[in-house]
Chain A
Amino acid sequence: MAFKKFIIIVVCLLIMGKANNAIAQIAEDLIVIANDIGVSSLTKKQVISYLKGEKNFWEKRKKVLIALPSSKSELATIVARSIYKTSSEGMQKYWLSLVFQGRADPPMFFGSDEETIKFVTSNKGSIGFIRTKNKSQAVDFLIEIKTD
């Protein structure tokens, strides 16, 4: 029940956020960080494309390393919804299927923002999500989200 409520609130925020803010977002309270991917901003569409394993390489043939929130993390649901349009379990199953088909290397799952930040900052070509409040810890790796 609490879970469901949480989702509704998030969705509302998302809608409102989209209406109020001039700058685009993936979701309320969510920012994207990445390490040396060749650009400093991405559209939402592009982010989804990379996160879904459709493109395995950045601009300069650098491998895409994906960092996702694990089922233990609070961000799991938001990321699953906004990127994969499904639940957290669905996100797991999506990647299971992809691994079986051999179409992409599987992502790393992390339980907290600290772990995510640690991974992204020390791996070139990686991309991940953290909460807005932890922005300062990864200030060199912030990615701006453009409108489509």
Chain B
Amino acid sequence: MTVHKLAWVMVAAALVAGCGDKPQQDGGKQTVLIGQASPLTGPQAHLGKDNENGARLALDEINAAGLTLGGKKVVLELKSEDDAADPKTATTVAQKLVDEGVAGVIGHLNSGATIPASRIYSDNGIPQISPSATAVAYTAAGYKTAFRVMTNDAQQGSVLGNFAVTKLGAKRIAIIDDRTAYGQGLADEVEKAVKAAGGEVVAREYTSDRSTDFMAILTSIKGKAPDLVFFGGMDPQAAPMIKQMKQLGIHAKFLGGDGVQTPAFIQLAGGDAEGALASNPGLPLDAMPGGSAFKAKFEAKYGQIQNYAPYAYDAMHVLVDAMKRADSSDPAKYLAELPKTDYQGVTGHIRFDAKGDLTGGAVTLYQVKDGKWQTLETVQSGK
């Protein structure tokens, strides 16, 4: 290749790279890219698409209402990427979004994907708001760019522990976990909260996320006569566990976290599920301040809400709200405004603590009645 030709190739490459890259300016109108990352393929694709739709709905509304930053009209554009719920893919996708020059990111969906990606956003100074990651580790890393609009596992655990002692009146509590990061983390938080509320942890037992036989640990627990058994883990273990409790004649109440509050739990445990209690972070949709209006808007455009769409919607609004206050879409400028967020969203009032966690996040408690999860009450954590 001659030097002459090479020069032409370089010019062409520069032209191609210029298209759709970085904020564009034409006639006083500026395009700002906002990233969105969630699993858009695989078993959680329905949840990932739901997040994307929630973010897109907010973005379209903001564009329709018109946004002016720094005296210029701004049009937002959504860059949606598929992280396949996979930590490794999540980092690739995060780097891609950064390279494309997004001003901020809504995502990711899973804690496992959000945590490794958060480092890349932090290194590049790109603000990130996760609509749905609950693991404590996400904001514990201390990145200034990491925020979430969802209650974390520590908040959920403390609500659960408190609820068990003060509302359910349980004094003697047995705690079982499945030794996964999620189950163990939640169980540890519950244990702390139970002790703080004046309850007694009479047994701490362990199983695995593959076991189906809990007779031995349950028998041991039975000997300690607990009022309540808490399980930190998922429904495939919780269902046989509650069955075996009934079989052993343990009359203690059964309480679980969001891994248990699923339709599959009821399906697997059958009649024995009756009376079981479990929590889920956030509010049920119909109890959210803007729930019914959001539902109508969303369903008219995208169909049924799966789960986290309202959170993705709020996350987008929170991000743009900070841009408005800074009067700039430059991450370096509006990032300073994000911690000061005070926004009334669909899911509730959004404010962040020093770590970027939602303050006073809600946790809702449910109980199985007549073969269905029924809402018991919603607790604001930290109160």
The yes or no verdict on A and B being binding partners is no
